[in-house]
Every structure is written in C-alpha cells, then in structure tokens.
Amino acid sequence: MPVIRPSDAVTHELHGARFVSYAGSHTGSKQLCAWRGEIPPGTRAPAHTVDREEILHLLDGELVVTLDGRTDRVTAGDTLIINPGATLTVENHSDRTAVSWVTTTIGLEAELADGTRIAPPWAR
C-alpha cells in the first residue's frame, strides 16, 4: 500500500498560488491525481477552461469562485464540481489563506483566455 507522506509531496507555484501534489503518476497513481491548493489573501487566478472534471473541496478559508459566469462564495466544507469545458476563476478576498483539496484525472490541461495552454505538473 503506497503511503504518501507530507515530506514526499511536490510543491509547485503558479499565479500566486501553491499546489502541493500528493497523488499522481509520480507517486504511482494510474488514473487520479490529488493536491492541496493554498490560495493566499488577495490572490486572483486568471480565468481558465479545464478539459477534465475536477472536484474541489474547500478545507479552510473562503473563496469567490466564478464558474461559467455564475459567481458564488465558497466556504470551508463546500465542494465544487467543475465539469470538462467549464471556465473557472478563483479569488481570495479574505485576510487568510484558503486551503483546498482537488482531485481530477491524470493529464488535466487548462486554457487561459489568451489561448495559452497549461499542462500543470501537479496534474500529471
């Protein structure tokens, strides 16, 4: 049974947020990947469209999320289902870091509004 310890996680940073990757092909997962997202106060991630389903569960804090044009306040304990093809923007207007747990299938890619494609290493 593979056990991934915090010291085994790989940390990445992008657009002011931190992504701490625990499960993925780098740790032996064949289909799924999972990471802890840390979104500092004042962070606004750029709008991006995902090509795979993502499940985001907010562990701590508060976010303002716009998903396909609908804006909602998401608080600790809430879960967000992001379908393939959905466009997402995440903002932290609070004074503390928001912490999430995100799961998707290995190979997720995202496209920014300017057409730039991102293949996040934490989703590999």
Q: What is the pLDDT along the chain (124 residues), one digit of tens a residue?
A: 589 999 999 999 999 999 999 999 999 999 999 999 999 999 999 999 999 999 999 999 999 999 999 999 999 999 999 999 999 999 999 999 999 999 999 999 999 999 999 999 999 9
Q: What is the DSSP string of 31-98?
A: SEEEEEEEE-TT-BPPPEEESS-EEEEEEESEEEEEETTEEEEEETT-EEEE-TT-EEEEE--SSS-E
What's the confidence (pLDDT) of residue 2?
A: 83
Report pLDDT for 52.
97
Q: What is the pLDDT at residue 7?
A: 93
pLDDT tens string 8-17: 999 999 999 9
Summarize pLDDT for 38-56 with one digit per residue, the tens: 999 999 999 999 999 999 9
Tell me how long the chain is: 124
Predicted pLDDT at 33: 97
Q: What domains lie within the chain, and their CATH numbers?
A: 10-119 (2.60.120.10)
